[in-house]
């Protein structure tokens, strides 16, 4: 993953507070596309409407900026954004946040709707030159206004500098699982973890400890053979989360490691969010 460069800083200054090797879709065509990564739609987009309501244009806002690993923007008050990963036509975000300028009225409601949309693992659809992002009862329609020009856009709302490329290597890493599909129920809340050794992995998300063999290719986590687990007497709510964890890991999910120890794994209709263990 390329380092985030501060190209978007100028756009946000007034509000400051490993991809698939398959050929990317050409989003210049006015037809439906299966988007393979955020690089397919990287650039700057004007917000046409939110939940069917047209948003007024104020200077260069409202806009959304997309890079290969992040999404951010502003609709006229606060800057917002976070780490982002596209998997199976859906966006998963980590550490979504922004400024805290205390917007009032309609702007505050619209910012809240956008936050709920992106935190809802939204679907992405491109057609007739427009990008539509929808989830959680919200719908965002965008029209392109610009593409990256030799540099990465950086929609990080806090504009945290990164010294160099971030390693996407999983071997020898340990992570604290924060949530799966937004849920955090666990019989061992202080021991939720995901650990990768040379070729094996193990993780405890809710009740049972799962383990197996893995490999990686580009930005995909490939779990080999069957997933084994410890046998624990778990209540139904824990079993549901353990099953979601297993379904995620066996789906050959995409993964992304962020510049501040963030981890996103997304696939099979599930999303795991974690942070580097200390």
pLDDT tens column, 125-147: 998 889 999 997 999 999 998 77
Higher pLDDT, 17 or 136: 136
Structure tokens, 100: 């805290």
Q: What is the mean pLDDT of residues 110-131?
A: 92
Query: Does pLDDT of 187 surpass 60?
Result: yes
Q: Which pTM does this prediction carry?
A: 0.82
Higher pLDDT, 42 or 12: 42
Query: Does pLDDT of 206 surpass 50?
Result: yes
Domain parsing of the chain, residue ranges: 6-146, 173-276
Question: Could you check whether 6-146 and 173-276 share the same CATH topology?
Answer: yes
Percentage of residues in the chain with pLDDT exceeding 70?
Answer: 80
- What three-state secondary structure class fits 151? coil
Q: What is the mean pLDDT of residues 55-59?
A: 79
pLDDT band at 6 (very low <50, low <70, confident <90, very high): very low
DSSP state of 9: H
CB 3 within 8 A of CB 156: no
**Is the CATH code 2.40.128.270 the one for domain 6-146?**
yes
Higher pLDDT, 181 or 57: 181
Q: pLDDT per residue over 33-48, tens digit each?
A: 568 899 999 999 999 9
Query: Does pLDDT of 254 surpass 60?
Result: yes
pLDDT band at 107 (very low <50, low <70, confident <90, very high): confident
Neighbour tally for 18: CB within 10 Å: 21
**Rounded to whole angstroms, what are the CA distances from 150 to 27, 32, 76, 104, 232?**
18, 27, 27, 37, 53
Task: List residues bridging with 49 in a β-sheet.
Answer: 54, 141
Neighbour tally for 26: CB within 10 Å: 9
Cα–Cα distance for residue pair 117/228, rounded to 1 Å: 35
pLDDT band at 3 (very low <50, low <70, confident <90, very high): very low
Percentage of residues in the chain with pLDDT exceeding 90?
Answer: 59
pLDDT at 13: 34
Q: What is the mean pLDDT of residues 109-114?
A: 92
| pLDDT mean across residues, the chain | 82
Neighbour tally for 46: CB within 10 Å: 19
Cα–Cα distance for residue pair 89/37, rounded to 1 Å: 8
pLDDT at 179: 96
Higher pLDDT, 231 or 14: 231
pLDDT at 32: 35
Cα–Cα distance for residue pair 266/262, rounded to 1 Å: 13
The CATH class of the 173-276 domain is: mainly beta
């Amino acid at each position: 993953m390329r380092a985030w460069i501060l190209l978007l800083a100028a756009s946000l200054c007034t509000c400051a507070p490993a991809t698939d090797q398959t050929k990317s879709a050409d989003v210049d065509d006015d037809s439906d596309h299966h988007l393979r990564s955020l690089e397919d739609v990287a650039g700057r987009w004007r917000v046409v409407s939110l939940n069917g309501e047209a948003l007024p244009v104020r200077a260069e806002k409202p806009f959304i900026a997309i890079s290969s690993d992040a999404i951010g923007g502003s609709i006229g008050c606060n800057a917002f954004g976070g780490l982002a990963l596209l998997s199976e036509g859906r966006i998963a975000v980590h550490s979504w946040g922004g400024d805290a300028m205390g917007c009032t009225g309609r702007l505050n409601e619209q910012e809240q709707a956008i936050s709920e949309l992106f935190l809802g693992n939204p679907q992405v659809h491109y057609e007739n030159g427009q990008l539509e992002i929808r989830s959680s009862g919200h719908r965002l329609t965008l029209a392109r206004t610009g593409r990256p020009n030799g540099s990465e856009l950086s929609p990080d709302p806090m504009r945290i500098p990164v010294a160099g490329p971030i390693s996407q290597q999983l071997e020898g890493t340990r992570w604290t699982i924060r949530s799966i599909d937004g849920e955090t129920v666990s019989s061992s809340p202080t021991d939720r973890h995901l650990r990768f050794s040379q070729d094996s992995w193990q993780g405890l998300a809710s009740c049972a400890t799962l383990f197996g063999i893995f490999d990686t290719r580009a930005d995909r986590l490939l779990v080999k053979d069957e997933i084994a687990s410890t046998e624990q007497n778990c209540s139904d709510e824990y079993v549901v989360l353990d099953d979601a964890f297993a379904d995620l890991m066996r789906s050959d999910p995409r993964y992304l490691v962020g510049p501040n120890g963030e981890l996103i794994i997304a696939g099979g209709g599930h999303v795991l969010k974690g942070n580097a263990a200390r």
